[in-house]
Amino acid sequence: MFASASEGRSWGWLIGVTVAGLAGAANAQDVQPRPGVGAVVEEVIVTAQKREESGQDVPISLEVMSAERIANLQLVSGTEIARQTPNLQVSNLGNEDQPKFSLRGIATPDFNLNTTSPTGVFYDEVYVASQFLGGPQIFDLERVEVLRGPQGTLFGKNTTGGAINFITRSPSYETEGYVSVQAGNHDYVHATGAFNLPLVKDKLAARLAANYTRSDGWIRNYNPAGEDLSSIDNYALRLSLLFEPTENTSAKLRLLHSRSNPTNIGVINYGTGPGDTNAFGVNPRVNPLTGENFDAWEGYYDRTGGEIIADGDGAILTIDQKIGQLTLTSITSYIEGDFKNNVDADGSIAPLLAIDFYARTREIGQDLRISSNYDRPFNFIAGLYYNHDVTGINTDYTLFAAVDLAQSYEQKRTSYAAYADMTYDLTPDWTLYGGLRWTDDEGKATDFQVVPIIPVQPTQSYEDSAPTGRIGVRYKFSDDVMAYAQYARGYRSSTINGSALTNASDFNVADPEKLNSYEVGLKSQFFDDRLQLNTSAFYYQYLNQQFVNAITLTESKMVNAGEARLMGLEAEVIAQLTDHLRLRFGMALLDTEYVELHLARGTPLVDYDLAGNELIEAPHTTFSLALDWSMFALGAGRVHAHVDGSRVGSKFFTPFNNLPPSNLSVGEAYYEANARVVYRSDSGRYEVGVWGKNLTDNDEAAGQVGADQSTFYQRFTVSPYPRRYGVEFSYNF
């Protein structure tokens, strides 16, 4: 909570800041712009509401990363977008291509391959449930849009926290392209590029984009028989075709292919037993060869030859047909993939726990909608949606080098939805908007068994249906200042427990999550578009958050929290300080509390009342800062510099918070800084530069799982990538 403030004082503080912002907006027309200005904060066009419009007109708290900003941030994986996105947290227990997102404190502690995140991840508007399918496809992007708050109307289920939409570059009718290569420490090599080719003038064009990354393992393994862990080795291809037979018809086909095969992750575990030992009596953070302590990127792993395999293929077909002032849109998708991850789960010389994860998945989606483009005062979007995915799970556990357990099952999920979203201009300044979506979900897991303990179980299934939506009002004080207030409802479908291991009764289902959101926001630009200030404040009522409750060493159940409340504030500033210097500043404050939560653990079983505890992965404060400076002319070009930094406050990884031994599972506050300096030719043909990431060498865990007897007297963590640096060269043609 904010400095232990009461709920009433926190509310007063939030409302006071927001009212002050609105009062300033009311007088915005009296602010005199500075004469003779040059560079401005450019308008950003987004599709956050399934139509192209200025981000400053959208009544959603947005973070948008353009292609130029992505390049400056050196964003090459999904985990990195949180660096400059207030109230977005990313954790992972695998490699960088397997992020788990938390927005505004809405998170899940469940890393099982059959589960979904409460923050929806979309690629060109296509929902992707399996985290491992999308990672290597983050290249040749037009932009990334992070939508905070429930997006239950236009994006649908499993977006209670929000939605992240990766939007790739479309083909054009010009022959052009680029290639970019990088090299860095740990023998890091990264190459990406695209080639755009018109095939039939103004009718047919193609774009082929490719991405390749490799790096030696950055977790040093002191086992002479092993190899360094947590390497990078992936490539991806994307062929996009644009066909426009008439001025009213447009079709885009994207064909996707990706392969990833690095070494397995280097788990960084800490013993929680006597003398910091695990259940095998070994301290995993001490080098058995020298007796010296390991740092956050070292270990001794008894398991050698492990690997990760993540293969994905798919196709996305988007068709737009204009009919007068209406547009009919169809988005059809098919994605399939395979996953394998061999984990030395105890992270030590001890043969305590080894886990092999295997999954095969297939996802099919169809979104059919019609949208209007009337001048005024009424516009709408209405559609039908279908999604179906099938995932086969096989997980092999080896305990104490003697007990082998083989878990397997198949999960199928099907979702149907109908939705409509409308806006109505009450006056030139006042706009009323609202939407409603009805979703029906079905899910079932069949042939569940754990050999040799649990025989094949009866099918576990669920059938959910729920309304989601929003209603709000937007007011434009001027062309440059807009405020909004809204209520929104989010929903996450039921989840089947994929952690059952020794007890048949653990194979159970958690009820759906629901979220009621109340939000006000302000979007504004001043000084002749040289200063942009966006703020938002929100209050959440969060019902039935889903948990995998680890009860004992080998027992866990899927449960629901009763209720939680969250409130917070976000502020983002973009300032064009001079024609050559731009500053970005982001801030987020978050206050969370479980109103009703009971979890049981231990032997004998003890029920804990956790009301008053904070939510997981919900730091009180996050700050970000970035500077882009066009420094000076040099020959036939110019030198440009980018620096960004962030601070993330401490957070809990378990709802038990400070209750021993879970008090060990706390993520401490950390700072991180990154930089890039490039020389760019005036023609824009080429640039050459140097870059550095995690210059502060932050080693705070990027992901954690519990610190009690359920995890073999150990705290399972994964370290972030250490300090890295390199050179780059890009050429545009």
Mean pLDDT of the chain: 90
What's CA 73's distance to the chain center, in Å? 16
Distance separating alpha carbons of residues 592 and 595, to the nearest angstrom = 10
The string of pLDDT tens digits covering residues 287-337 is 999 999 999 999 999 987 788 999 999 999 999 999 999 999 999 999 999
Is 160's pLDDT higher than 80?
yes
The string of pLDDT tens digits covering residues 507-563 is 999 999 999 999 999 999 999 999 999 999 999 999 999 988 877 767 788 899 889
402: confidence class by pLDDT, cuts 50, 70, 90: confident
5: confidence class by pLDDT, cuts 50, 70, 90: very low
Mean pLDDT over 415-424 rounds to 98
Q: Residue 30 CB: number of other CB atoms within 10 A?
A: 6
Q: Where are the beta strands (DSSP E) in 185-282?
A: 188-200, 204-215, 220-221, 232-246, 249-260, 268-271
Residues 6+ apart with CB under 8 A from 101: 78, 82, 88, 89, 90, 117, 119, 121, 161, 164
Contact 679, 637 (CB under 8 A): yes
Output the six-digit token pair for 466.
């729920």
Per-residue model confidence (pLDDT) at position 134: 64
Looking at residue 229, the DSSP 8-state letter turns out to be B
Q: Which of 248-262, 319-333, 705-719 has the lowest mean pLDDT?
A: 705-719
Mean pLDDT over 338-346 rounds to 92
The string of pLDDT tens digits covering residues 172-198 is 999 999 999 999 999 999 999 999 999
The pTM for the full model equals 0.91
Is 414's pLDDT higher than 80?
yes
Per-residue model confidence (pLDDT) at position 499: 85
Residues 6+ apart with CB under 8 A from 376: 425
Q: Residue 585 CB: number of other CB atoms within 10 A?
A: 16
Alpha helix stretches (DSSP H) within 27-90? 67-73
Segment holding 714, helix H or strand E = strand 714-718
Is 6's pLDDT higher than 80?
no
Helix (H, G, I), strand (E, B) or coil at 78: helix
Could you identify the residue written with the tokens 């952690």? Answer: 499
Tell me how far CA of residue 545 lies from CA of 508, 523, 548, 705, in angstroms: 15, 31, 10, 17
Could you identify the residue written with the tokens 């984990």? Answer: 343
Distance separating alpha carbons of residues 448 and 422, to the nearest angstrom = 44
Segment holding 16, helix H or strand E = helix 7-26
The string of pLDDT tens digits covering residues 214-237 is 999 999 999 999 999 999 999 999
Distance separating alpha carbons of residues 60 and 533, to the nearest angstrom = 14
Per-residue model confidence (pLDDT) at position 196: 98
- Upper half-sphere CA count for residue 693 (Cβ side, 13 Å): 17
Distance separating alpha carbons of residues 541 and 388, to the nearest angstrom = 29
What is the secondary structure of 664-676 as a DSSP string? G-EEPPEEEEEEE
Per-residue model confidence (pLDDT) at position 136: 64
- Cα angle 109-110-113, degrees, rounded to a multiple of 5: 155
Tell me how far CA of residue 700 lies from CA of 150, 641, 669, 703, in angstroms: 29, 27, 8, 9
Q: Which of 69-83, 395-409, 640-654 has the lowest mean pLDDT?
A: 69-83
Distance separating alpha carbons of residues 87 and 78, to the nearest angstrom = 15
Helix (H, G, I), strand (E, B) or coil at 80: helix
